[in-house]
Structure 1
Amino acid sequence: MNLLMSDSNGIIKHVVQIINEGQFDEAERMLKELLGNEPNNAEAHHQLGRVYSFIGLFDESLEELKVAVEILPNDPPIRVDLAMQYCMLGFNDEAKQEFEEVLRQDPNNEMAQRQIIYFR
């Protein structure tokens, strides 16, 4: 079990690197393969949501980020990305709610602090 978790973490780390390099197709392929083996891997859903956002699949991004939050509701970085996706799609009430939840969980979260001012 620990070896599998270690492998998953290594895959995620590599995926983040190739996302930053713009290799979105390869990142998507790797994440889908990982999710085929670990459908409840919140970070894999999170990163797939980021990939979809980068390539303009905003509805798909939103769905992946929602799944990630359902699996791991107390992870502010996932919630920040979900809130930002809501903003991009014009779902301001949902975005505000997510930023407020991030600040409830992490009052010093700089991104949420910067973004919440647009909703006050």
Structure 2
Amino acid sequence: MGDPNVLVQQATALKNEGRYEEAEQLLKQAIRVNPYHAEAHHQLGLVYCFTGLFDESIQELEASVRLNPESVQARLDLALTYAMLGYEPEAKRELEEVLRRDPTNEMALRHIVYFK
């Protein structure tokens, strides 16, 4: 089935090229190999967000944060997705957590002002 780290790396490159369907397939394969691969869930959440599958995006980004609570980037992406969908309390909570872990995070600092 393949090394999940390699699959995620390949899928991320495909995602960055806008080849979302191919990226999705590789990420699902990585998750089948290792359901606890936080970055696979993170990247799949981004693919879903970019393709308008917002419920699925939230589900995957939340899974990524559960599996790797230390990931500032996954939390930030979750916060921004929440904000985009109008889930303000959830967005604020995640942005505050990002800033607790990384007080100089420019993206979080830029967005938290909307929730004060």
Query: Given the alignment of the two structures, is residue 104 of structure 1 paired with residue 97 of structure 2, yes or no?
Result: no
Matches within 5 A, 1:81-92: 81-92=77-88
Secondary structure of the 1:108 match is coil
How far does the alpha carbon of each residue in 1:6-59 deviate from its partner, in whole angstroms, 9 at most, with x for none?
A: x43332222111111110000000000110010000000000000000000000
In the aligned structure 1, how far is the partner of 2:86 from the partner of 2:47?
19
2:27 maps to 31
Amino acid at match of 1:74: E
Aligned to 2:13: 17
4+ residue runs over 6 A deviation = none
Does 1:68 find its partner at 2:61?
Answer: no
What SS does the corresponding residue of 2:104 show, helix, strand or coil? Answer: coil
Q: Which consecutive unaligned segments of at least 5 residues does structure 1 have?
A: none
Report the TM-score when normalising by structure 2. Answer: 0.95
> What is the one-letter code of the residue matched to 2:47?
V
Aligned residue pairs, count = 115
% identity of equivalent residues: 51
Q: CA deviation at 1:89?
A: 1.1
